[in-house]
Amino acid sequence: MAKVRIVQFAIGLFVLLLATQVAKAHAFPDHSLPKVGSELASAPTSVRIWFDGDIEPVFSTLIVKTATGTQVSTGRGRVSASNSTLLETDLPKKLVPGKYYVYWSVIARDGHHTEGRFPFRVK
């Protein structure tokens, strides 16, 4: 009986450790500037998203668009040279007041893909 419990415990521990590694396989946003859904008094000059894991520079994108779908960000975004969890893009010096959408797509270092979008508003 004790051997069965030891085997059950070992199997349970293995499954738990495996599940933890699978959960860490994807890169998800940790925080951003501007914050998700924020309303800003002045226009930002860049958008930055920090992820909970390293992301691949070649396959990761960050684009900002107006509510009508016009891209206002410069290029397709970039992973910071000094921080492989930071995805950023530049914005024009003067964004007109309105709603903007941030579209992001990343590949984690292990190859898993995640993507999403969030809004912010400039008064």
User: Residue 92 belongs to a domain with what CATH number?
Assistant: 2.60.40.1220
**Separation of alpha carbons 111 and 92, rounded Å:** 32
pLDDT at 1: 58
Q: Which residues of the chain have pLDDT under 70?
A: 1-25
pLDDT at 91: 98
**Separation of alpha carbons 117 and 96, rounded Å:** 20
Give residue 102's domain range.
Answer: 26-122
- Asked whether residue 14 is assigned to any structural domain, the reply reads no
How much of the chain is in helix, strand and coil states, percent to nearest 5?
A: 20, 40, 40
- Asked whether residue 36 is assigned to any structural domain, the reply reads yes
- Asked whether residue 15 is assigned to any structural domain, the reply reads no
- With contact defined as beta carbons under 8 Å apart, do 106 and 57 qualify? no
Number of domains into which the chain is organized: 1
pLDDT at 3: 61
pLDDT at 96: 96
- Asked whether residue 113 is assigned to any structural domain, the reply reads yes
